[in-house]
Structure 1
């Protein structure tokens, strides 16, 4: 247990250092991890992976983590440079952009608290991931 705390602390410090030096790289890493968690949840929904309550709750914890960290990873200094898929609208509508992350955090926290089985996971996961799609629709370059 003690080792897990040390490892988690090192990861947080490492993430903080990367975020301060290169917010574009930090947000890409955060979004990649969030996408990985979303993929794990989608696999459970499709029956490609068995439902696992512990993993389901961990997905919502990861979403909460992303929601709390992401707004700070879009400083004005990261509008340009690097390879970013963020549209200029992020900075033009920063209050709305940040509010979308706050809603993701709120929905993910509620999801973590409400999930007890696959059926409740389907409802909570679908609700939380709608936040992702809504933000990507407005604030991300379409690929």
Structure 2
């Protein structure tokens, strides 16, 4: 009986997984990922600015979160052709010069991973790593994002 129930449920589970994947909206997915990264960056920006006291554990938690999200940035999945219209600030330059866009994402991923690997133990080493990471954010947003009015 258990085997019959399991075999009956398998096609339904496969259909549910397919429906979830097939209905994924790359614009919504990439915006959620960017917002999540923005929250993590925002949580440690005051430390880099000297507005909050340096705390190595807080810094590493945020850097790891940023890195986890950065590694999920897959240009082919999150920025497929046709996802340049609708509720998005993605610039057409993403698709016009996709090689440069992919290179910018790859650099960002590498720099965030390096920041985590550096494991900053003091404010100065953190600021160096953090500035490199956020410089990538700014560069990519300037080149590949339409400014909101």
Fold conserved between structures, TM > 0.5? yes
Which structure has the bigger radius of gyration? 2
Q: Which residue of 2 aligns with 1:121?
A: 126
Q: Which residue of 2 aligns with 1:133?
A: 138
Structure with the bigger percentage of helix:
1
Show CA shifts across 1:17-73 (max 9, x none): 579611111111111111111111211122333322122122222332232222221
Q: Compare 27-36 and 38-47 and name the one that shifted more.
A: 38-47
Return the TM-score normalized by structure 1: 0.79
Structure 1 residue runs of 4 or more that deviate by more than 4 Å after TM superposition: 17-20
Unaligned runs of 5+ in 1: 1-16
CA RMSD across the alignment: 1.9
Does 1:93 find its partner at 2:97? yes
CA distance in 2, matches of 1:20, 1:73: 13
Return the TM-score normalized by structure 2: 0.76
Q: Which residue of 2 aligns with 1:108?
A: 112
CA distance in 2, matches of 1:93, 1:69: 21
Query: Is the 2:41–2:62 contact (alpha carbons within 8 Å) kept by the matching residues of 1?
Result: yes
Q: Which residue of 2 aligns with 1:64?
A: 67
Kindly state the Cα deviation for residue 132 of structure 1 after the two structures are TM-superposed: 0.3
